[in-house]
Amino acid sequence: MQLRHTRYLITAFTTPLRLNEPFDEIRDFDQRFRGIVRRHLAVLAWWSLLCIATGPLAIVAFHGETYYFFMMHMVWGFINLAFAVLVFYHAIFRKFQKGNAFERFEAQRHVEKMLLLNIGLDFAYVFTGLLLHEHGLREGVSLPELWQGFGWAIVVQGLFLFAQDTWVYHLHAANFVKAAPFLREEMGVE
């Protein structure tokens, strides 16, 4: 990883979002919007790197259910990291660099809808993980430790992603609320 990518992960994670500062229509809306997206991706990238880093420990230190938990945890780390990189290049470098003010507001609404979809998927991950774990508890199932470990790993991933997606959704909603007076004025609505 190049130094600039590491610096991005640190600065995007520590830079304040400034949601409570005075509102300057589009410019401030855009800055807050990009800051929220960057923070979301930085948190996801750090979580992914943590998941990936714990995987090799599983190979040498653990056995049974814990071994499979960390192995699945590592796989989810690679999936989440790939997703974070893909969204970063799509959102920061392409999609949200163009368009007028109303297209920017529409882009935020699109992100909010995607987050709501993700929150639903996060519940599905938790439910699926619990099903896998319970399947491992059944009598006569082959490799019960694999089912149980994979199940718990998916539950942990689902809970983390649910917490993060819910948090980011609320940040985007707060940013949109700040833009409401400007939108009402532009659209002629009282």
pLDDT digits (tens, 9 = 90+) for 111-138: 889 899 999 999 999 999 999 999 998 8
Structural contact between residues 75 and 38, judged by C-beta atoms closer than 8 angstroms: no
Q: How far apart are CA 136 and CA 147, in angstroms?
A: 5
Tokens 């056995």 sit at which residue? 63
Q: Does residue 22 register a pLDDT over 60?
A: no
**3-state SS assignment for residue 92:** coil
Could you tell me which of 88, 99, 89 has the C-alpha nearest to residue 26? 99
Q: Which pLDDT belongs to residue 116?
A: 94
**Helix residue spans in 62-100 (DSSP H):** 64-91
Q: How far apart are CA 163 and CA 80, in angstroms?
A: 15
Tokens 């990291």 sit at which residue? 81
Query: What is the token pair recorded at 169?
Result: 């959704």
At 97, the pLDDT band (50, 70, 90 cuts) reads: low
**CB neighbours of 156 closer than 8 A, spacing ≥ 6?**
73, 129
What region, left, alpha or beta, does residue 103 occupy, with left being phi > 0 and alpha being psi -120 to 50 degrees?
alpha
Averaged pLDDT of the chain = 82
